[in-house]
Amino acid sequence: MKTTIQHNNKTYEIDLSKPLDISLPIQNNEQNPIAWYLDKPEINPVVMGDFVGSVSSGKSSTNFNNILFNPHGHGTHTECLGHITKDFYSINQILKQFFFIAELISVEPQPFESDFIITKNQVENALNSKTPEALVIRTLPNTSDKKHKNYSNSNPPYLTEEAAIYIREIGVKHLLIDLPSVDKEVDEGKLLAHKAFWNVKNTQVVNNDARFDCTITELIFVSDEIKDGSYVINMQIASFENDASPSKPILYQIL
């Protein structure tokens, strides 16, 4: 089903019947991606006395599960600056619009000392003067094990502070990446890329010019069939009053 979207005085045509899902699901098995030293999520039937919330158990007419998970470590999630601030800010209150023009770029992190990093020059060259509202970064090589990887204690690639500043300065409001964090796994709490993107200078007392309306989405997966270029993105989140929510970003090719 084709439709048009009016955005910033421009008209974009997309086909709603051809969504490109770049999210990773939460599942209670070893196929679930994991970060930050967590165990896998738990999805289990409610048990109350003789009641078991599972149709297959023969003790319930419905499936009725409890779910225990962490949005930051168990799949695709979208977070706001409340992730790093003393004061509470909710992604459900901050993300109020859900369709944006996005640019998908592919970048191969470069070796730096004992790390692999994504640099300002790489991002700038890949964007080729484009200044999208949403930036989707696919790292190379784009292996399928990203969908199931345990990232804990693996020192994944990350964005440099300079790259995050550049992304902020060109006006990107929504940053998406296929890594567990835009920052180094063990960085002594510096969180340089998070702070640079949100323009947070002091996490104890947030400055007035911090980017309250901007988001970071981590642990996406962009298949090779989706080519670099411009898209319309639909940023879908669950209505959690929390700094982060599991999310389901969807790309639509611009016709």
Give CA–CA dist 50/30, Å, rounded.
Answer: 29
* Both tokens assigned to 48: 């109350």
pLDDT at 161: 98
DSSP state letter for 18: S
Question: How confident is the model at residue 198, as a pLDDT?
Answer: 98
Comparing CA positions, the residue from 42, 216, 36, 44 lying closest to residue 134 is: 216
- The CA distance from 108 to 144, in Å, is 16
Residue for token digits 């990232």? Answer: 151
Query: Tens-digit pLDDT profile for the chain (255 aa)?
Result: 899 888 888 899 999 999 999 999 999 998 999 999 999 999 999 999 999 999 999 889 999 999 999 999 999 999 999 999 999 999 999 999 999 999 999 999 999 999 999 999 999 999 999 999 999 999 999 999 999 999 999 999 999 999 999 999 999 999 999 999 999 999 999 999 999 999 999 899 899 999 999 999 999 999 999 999 999 999 999 999 999 999 999 999 999
What would the CATH number be for the domain defined by 2-29+71-253? 3.50.30.50
Pairing mode of beta strands 115-118, 158-159: parallel
DSSP letter string, 132-198: -SEEEEEESS--GGGGT-B-TTS---EE-HHHHHHHHHTT--EEEESSS-SS-SSSTT--HHHHHHH
Per residue in 18-53, pLDDT tens? 999 999 999 999 899 999 999 999 999 999 999 999
Tens of pLDDT, residues 132-145: 999 999 999 999 99
* 210: CB partners within 8 A, 6+ apart: 81, 198, 199, 200, 201
How are beta strands 51-52 and 47-48 bridged, if at all? Answer: antiparallel
pLDDT at 7: 80
